[in-house]
Structure 1
Amino acid sequence: MSRRCALTEKAVQTGHKVSHSNVKTKRKFLPNLHNVTLISDVLSRSVRLRVSAAGLRSVEHSGGLDAWLIKTSVSELSAPAAKLKREIEKKMTTAH
């Protein structure tokens, strides 16, 4: 499993650990990932994703998974999230 958020594509970053004497050694900054089950109201099913804490806050702030996916452009989404967005849009167009 990769260390990448399924929604926002937040991933591992690299940098330096800097000591008091200013010696720099390589280190990794890992994203705060959690396995979560999000409910899609449009698809009426739950979706299991590995999401960063920041991504989860964004989803909650926008009013749920469906609302967040609809307002986010496809270019900003990961492949699984883009697929989910297409499913939701298809279901919404056939429902009306």
Structure 2
Amino acid sequence: MSRVCELTGKGPMSGNTISHANNKTRRRFLPNLNEVTLMSDALGQSFKLRISAAALRSVDHRGGLDGYLAKAKDDELSSNALKIKKEIAKAQAAA
């Protein structure tokens, strides 16, 4: 399983570990990913997603999964999140 957020596209970054003696060693900074279950109000269904802690705060700020996906860019979303976004748009158009 890749270490990439399904909503924001955040992935590992690289940098240096710097010791007290100022030796530099390459290292990876991994995103803080959590597997959460988010509820869609339009579909009345819950979805299990692997997202970063920052993305979870953004989802709460925008008023839930439906509000977040409505404003999210398609190129940042995973294929699973893109399917959910299209289902929600279809359900909102029908209502």
Please give the TM-score of this superposition, normalised by the length of structure 2: 0.93
* TM superposition shift of 1:26: 1.0
What is the aligned partner in structure 1 of residue 15 from structure 2?
A: 15
Poorly superposed stretches of 4+, deviation over 4 Å: none
After TM superposition, list the pairs within 5 Å mapping 1:75-94 onto structure 2: 75-94=75-94
2:7 and 2:74 map into 1 onto residues whose CA distance is 11
1:27 and 1:38 map into 2 onto residues whose CA distance is 32
Q: Alignment length, in residue pairs?
A: 95
Percent identity between the aligned chains?
A: 55
Which ranges in structure 2 are unaligned for 5 or more consecutive residues?
A: none
* TM superposition shift of 1:43: 0.9
Counting helix residues as a fraction of each chain, which structure ranks higher? 1
Which ranges in structure 1 are unaligned for 5 or more consecutive residues?
A: none
> Deviation string for 1:9-44 (max 9, x for gaps)?
111111110112221101110110111000001111
2:49 and 2:18 map into 1 onto residues whose CA distance is 34
